[in-house]
């Protein structure tokens, strides 16, 4: 795919224009959605782990500062020597524990809810729905997990579903920036046969919550050596939208596969899909 007619390689593509609140494709210029996040401790942990200064993430700088502080107070003749040193050690452990705890869920919280009234129907191949994606994405030979990444959902005439998301080169914290190797477009493609389940709910990132479709699909893990053969694993992708109408378009398109499977017995049955 191209943006502004240029190759979409990470770290080399010129950034598309981003305008606050924009969510459409204008002419030949792709304008990605941009909604400010009301930050929380979880979102600060996420961005500090993904923003870099001097080759290290802000989180590593913070953890390193705790270690240095513990050493300085531990070997020096400073007031409250051992108490302060122990405090730095506890702070280091607390930061590390919180980071790994929140990272398990991509620093977000999903609250399931009942599906709104939706009539399953395919999304026109020419239409793109703006969203914020949370989950696993790839480009060329690289793969990475992202949270709240602006992008678009579309379905080709072949019924293959696709995400096109964009990592901008700016900063979310006023300090540090995304590594150059991650700046650019990231993708996800999956077939109707890959779908396992979809559900409706609300995703919270920071102190911001939006309607969200949780898509569980089968991801193919390539073989690694003799003892790790190729395998399939269930992966959940969160597609958050700023308005329920956009969410219904995506859900209706994915639910349309339920109709297709009635005439294609090779497709596996869905799990946890609304009836009707």
Q: How far apart are the first and last CA of the chain?
A: 36
- Both 49 and 120 in one domain: the answer is no
Residue at a domain's end among 72, 103, 134: 103
- Both 97 and 113 in one domain: the answer is no
Q: What is the pLDDT of residues 245-264, one digit of tens each?
A: 999 999 999 998 765 544 44
Residues in the chain: 276
Q: If pLDDT is split at 50, 70 and 90, which confidence band does 29 have?
A: low
Q: Is residue 177 part of a domain?
A: yes
Q: If pLDDT is split at 50, 70 and 90, which confidence band does 207 have?
A: very high
pTM equals: 0.81
* Res 266 pLDDT > 50: no
Q: What is the torsion angle, in degrees rounded to the nearest 10, for the CA atoms of residue 169, residue 170, residue 176 and residue 177?
A: -20
Task: Tell me what pLDDT residue 72 has.
Answer: 87
- Both 113 and 57 in one domain: the answer is no
- Both 227 and 249 in one domain: the answer is yes
Query: Domain range for residue 188?
Result: 109-260
* Res 227 pLDDT > 70: no
- 34/18: higher pLDDT: 34
Average pLDDT in the chain: 83
Q: Is residue 265 part of a domain?
A: no
Q: If pLDDT is split at 50, 70 and 90, which confidence band does 1 have?
A: very low
Range 49-55 average pLDDT: 94
- Both 83 and 205 in one domain: the answer is no
In the chain, the number of structural domains is 2
* Res 234 pLDDT > 70: yes
Contact 48, 57 (CB under 8 A): yes
Q: CB-based contacts of 138: which residues, under 8 Å, 6+ apart?
A: 144, 186, 187, 188
Tell me how far apart the alpha carbons of residues 108 and 205 are, in angstroms, rounded to a whole number.
5
% of the chain residues with pLDDT over 90: 63
- Both 119 and 233 in one domain: the answer is yes
- Both 90 and 156 in one domain: the answer is no
Q: What is the pLDDT of residues 85-105, one digit of tens each?
A: 899 999 999 999 999 999 999
% of the chain residues with pLDDT over 70: 79
Tell me how far apart the alpha carbons of residues 203 and 148 are, in angstroms, rounded to a whole number.
10
Q: Is residue 64 part of a domain?
A: yes
Of the candidate ranges 27-36, 186-195, 233-242, the one whose mean pLDDT is the lowest: 27-36
- Both 48 and 167 in one domain: the answer is no
Q: Is residue 120 part of a domain?
A: yes
Task: Tell me what pLDDT residue 22 has.
Answer: 31
Tell me how far apart the alpha carbons of residues 38 and 205 are, in angstroms, rounded to a whole number.
8
- 269/32: higher pLDDT: 32
Of the candidate ranges 23-27, 93-97, 110-114, 162-166, the one whose mean pLDDT is the lowest: 23-27
- Both 84 and 161 in one domain: the answer is no
Task: Tell me what pLDDT residue 102 has.
Answer: 95
- Both 77 and 147 in one domain: the answer is no
């Amino acid at each position: 795919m191209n943006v502004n007619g240029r190759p979409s390689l990470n770290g080399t593509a010129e950034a598309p224009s981003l305008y606050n609140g924009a969510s459409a494709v204008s002419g030949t210029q792709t304008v990605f959605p941009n909604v400010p996040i009301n930050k929380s401790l979880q979102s600060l942990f996420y961005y500090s782990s993904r923003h870099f200064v001097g080759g290290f993430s802000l989180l590593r700088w913070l953890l390193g500062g705790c270690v240095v502080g513990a050493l300085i107070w531990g070997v020096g003749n400073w007031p409250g020597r051992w108490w302060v040193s122990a405090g730095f050690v506890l702070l280091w452990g607390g930061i590390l524990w919180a980071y790994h705890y929140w990272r398990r869920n991509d620093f977000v919280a999903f609250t399931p809810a009942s599906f709104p009234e939706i009539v399953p129907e395919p999304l026109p191949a020419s239409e793109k729905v703006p969203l914020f994606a949370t989950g696993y994405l790839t480009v060329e030979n690289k793969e990475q997990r992202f949270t709240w990444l602006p992008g678009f959902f579309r379905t080709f005439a072949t019924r293959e579903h696709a995400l096109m998301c964009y990592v901008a080169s700016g900063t979310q914290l006023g300090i540090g920036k995304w590594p150059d190797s991650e700046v650019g477009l990231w993708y996800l493609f999956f077939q109707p046969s890959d779908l396992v389940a979809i559900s409706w709910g609300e995703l919270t990132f920071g102190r911001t919550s939006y309607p969200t479709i949780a898509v569980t699909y089968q991801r193919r893990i390539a073989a690694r050596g003799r003892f790790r053969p190729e395998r399939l694993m269930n992966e959940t992708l969160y597609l958050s939208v700023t308005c329920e109408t956009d969410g219904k378009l995506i859900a209706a398109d994915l639910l349309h596969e339920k109709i297709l499977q009635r005439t294609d017995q090779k497709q596996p049955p869905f799990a946890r899909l609304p009836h009707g």
